[in-house]
């Protein structure tokens, strides 16, 4: 059965950091409390770079480091609270509770690198961004709820 919460689909070329910045601004413009942005992609695909672009578009002025070791880094932005997760080093799906994932979704939005480490934690209406670097060409494939359609034709 088709998943009605995943009706938006597009593919975007990311030839440089400016293109990632524009995509990040589009995501930031639509981000609401309860949203999850799942950032898929191999090592070095550009997940942290896009998370940083989203946070900077939301007005974060401080550094946005990769939360590789802390697993989560939280930000208060003028618009909403955002928690940036990197689940690469997650030991078990149970750890998601200790990391406050459900509360972070109740209180704000979440950005998740390596979502494949805890796929069952992702809400069904997540925006999925699949980043790829192939033969020197970077692309983002997006799927998610229809409301993203008007925001993400960047």
Ligand X SMILES: Nc1ncnc2c1ncn2[C@@H]1O[C@H](COP(=O)(O)OP(=O)(O)OP(=O)(O)O)[C@@H](O)[C@H]1O
Note the residues at the interface with Mg ion (CB under 5 A): 47-48, 66, 113
Contact 132, 45 (CB under 8 A): yes
Nearest Cα neighbor of 65 from 55, 79, 80 is: 55
**48 touches ligand X by CB under 6 A:** yes
Q: Which is nearer to ligand X, 23 or 145 (CB)?
A: 23
Segment contacting ligand X by CB under 6 A, of 2-10, 37-45, 73-81, 115-123: 37-45
Range list of β-strands (E), the chain = 8-13, 36-40, 72-76, 81-86, 108-113, 127-134, 137-144
Give the binding-site size for ligand X (rule: CB under 6 A).
Answer: 16
Residues that bind ligand X (CB under 6 A): 14, 16-17, 19-20, 41, 43-49, 66, 113, 138
């Amino acid at each position: 059965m088709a998943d009605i919460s995943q009706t938006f689909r597009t593919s975007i070329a990311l030839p440089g950091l400016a293109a990632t910045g524009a995509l990040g601004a589009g995501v930031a413009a639509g981000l609401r409390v309860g949203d999850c942005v799942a950032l898929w992609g191999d090592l070095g695909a550009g997940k942290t770079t896009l998370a940083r672009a989203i946070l900077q578009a939301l007005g974060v002025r401080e550094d946005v480091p990769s939360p590789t070791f802390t697993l989560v880094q939280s930000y208060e932005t003028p618009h909403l609270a955002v928690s940036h997760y990197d689940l690469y080093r997650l030991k078990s799906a149970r750890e998601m509770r200790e990391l406050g994932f459900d509360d972070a979704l109740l209180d704000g939005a979440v950005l998740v690198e390596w979502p494949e480490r805890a796929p069952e934690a992702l809400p069904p209406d997540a925006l999925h961004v699949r980043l790829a670097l192939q033969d020197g060409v970077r692309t983002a494939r997006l799927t998610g709820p229809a409301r993203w359609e008007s925001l993400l034709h960047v």
